[in-house]
Amino acid sequence: MSQWKVVFKSGESYQAEIVKDVLEDHGLHPVIVNKKDSSYHFGYFEVHVETHEVLDSMQLIKNEINFE
């Protein structure tokens, strides 16, 4: 079975969705893991990719996504 690694974390679901969409547009296979508590609204959303896609994912996130 493949190993999955976290390449992005955010407290905002829309940011995780944007990252996922950008990675998918470049042929990668990300998944979002919701670690946000639904009762108290703390925690975060993680974007995971398979180990062999980590470097490409990190490069795309750095060069193509800016939330400022």
What pLDDT is stored for residue 39 in this prediction? 84
Say which CATH topology domain 4-64 has.
Alpha-Beta Plaits (3.30.70)
Over 70: is that where the pLDDT of 1 sits? no
The one-letter amino acid at 58: M
pLDDT-derived band at 34, boundaries 50, 70, 90: very high
Tell me the mean pLDDT in the region 45-49: 98
Give CA–CA dist 55/43, Å, rounded: 25
Sorted by where each begins, the domain ranges of the chain are 4-64
Structure tokens of 20?
């996922």
